[in-house]
Chain A
Amino acid sequence: ELKVEQNPLFLSMQEGKNYTIYCNYSTTSDRLYWYRQDPGKSLESLFVLLSNGAVKQEGRLMASLDTKARLSTLHITAAVHDLSATYFCAVDGDDMRFGAGTRLTVKP
């Protein structure tokens, strides 16, 4: 059974700092997704990573995928308050399996 683990589950950081969210998964897959969810809102697709070594960047967020290590990272550079949200990774096996989410709070 595919398991997806994210850490940390909660992250409080100051504006301007860098941090990384980790997503580990248990079985072979070469399709990994990152989503963002704002409080009370739906999930919005951020990145789709489709192969080993894939790297995608959008603004202050950069996602990467290492299929051999079964690990994806979401790196935040120089955080700003607008990035406060919950971030989910999801791995495509027989179905889409989600991590528990990382609630990010960026403080001034």
Chain B
Amino acid sequence: DTGVSQNPRHKITKRGQNVTFRCDPISEHNRLYWYRQTLGQGPEFLTYFQNEAQLEKSRLLSDRFSAERPKGSFSTLEIQRTEQGDSAMYLCASSPSRGPSEQYFGPGTRLTVT
């Protein structure tokens, strides 16, 4: 399977705990995106990388969120001190670097904060 993969697929955590999600993009894709989606809404942009460089981060994100892509391959998204409002589907997408091109999404990680 050469699509985008995400792990874990589901995560249940208690409020105040830290969680980390992983995304493995399509191998030849240089751009990697993180989104958050709640019920009835479209994916909300969080951040994106061009290779290992984080080019933009949403101002909606608090300092509790951080993302890395250390070697320009897989990426991790960490949420510190989780809150119930963080419960959502976290989606990763990748795209090739030829201009504004199409994105391909992974299956997502569903986070539930209790």
Question: Do chains A and B interact in one complex?
Answer: no
